[in-house]
Amino acid sequence: MNTRTSIEKIREKAAAMRRDSIEMGYVAGSHGAHFGPALSSIEIVASLYFGVMNHNPQDPCMRERDRFVMSKGHACLSYYAALVEAGYLSREQMYTFKGDNSILPGHPSCHVEFGLEVATGSLGNGFAIACGMAMAAKIKNETHNVYCVLGDGECDEGLIWEAAMNAVKNKLDNLIAIVDRNSFQLAGKTTEIMDLDLAKIWQAFGWEVVIVEDGNDVASLLDALQAMQQSGSGKPHLIIAQTVKGKGISFMENNLGWHAAPINREQYEQAQSDLELV
């Protein structure tokens, strides 16, 4: 899996997903979009869909597909972009983002036939559902894995820790969660809102934890994901990926103002220019 060819392929997919995300956010007009948290998670989602997960766009409901849950549902642009690049969604559907009667609202809805496994957005709820999905696989003796992307601000939610304890109790080693550690949440920096040592806390709860210092680096993410897949610890797994909010767009990077906002024509053209330089 972790070959130069696959790394370059995933990087190319990640670049395409960034372009798709900007396009979707722009067509949403005054409705705006959560650019910052989506762009920080692009490499995480790309590594899962194009380097790790067992899935088939031609058979989206296949029984032993790996499941993906975007628990930080507001970051749906990266999720939708992956589904477009993988072939679950058409480009025509992509351009309906936040439109009337669209299957692509500002937080994911459930349309398994288009690769959308779970409706998420209420923070913590998606992670709890992912734990339930992993438990269901154990009960049914199925061999697929469940992958779940969390926000670091989302880890303030009590529901996260209830589900985390349940996952350890039930030895859900088929569950791999990834925290998109971009260091910002809606109201400010995570260190100013709730300064948590996430690695120590998750370890104390009984999870196997790996920290990826550069969570926007595909090679590092693939190494961590492969290690979790091959682990024989019997524990649920957590990767803390330290990312850049708004990654790839000069005026959005580490800028809380772009947690959620509309993008105008001038900003859209600047974003396109930034992406052409990559």
What value does the mean pLDDT take over residues 234-243?
A: 98
Q: Are the beta carbons of 175 and 233 closer than 8 angstroms?
A: no
CA 261 vs CA 34, 117, 125, 195: distances in Å: 7, 26, 24, 26
Mean pLDDT of the chain: 97
Q: What's the CATH number where 169 sits?
A: 3.40.50.970
Mean pLDDT within 35-40: 98
Query: What would the mean pLDDT of 148-175 be, rounded to a whole number?
Result: 98
Q: Which amino acid is at 94?
A: M
Phi, psi (5° rounding) for residue 237?
-115, 145
Q: Would the pLDDT of 104 be above 70? A: yes
Question: In terms of residue numbers, what domain contains 20?
Answer: 4-276
pTM metric for this prediction: 0.97
pLDDT of residue 277: 80
What pLDDT was estimated at residue 4?
67
Q: How many domains, the chain? A: 1
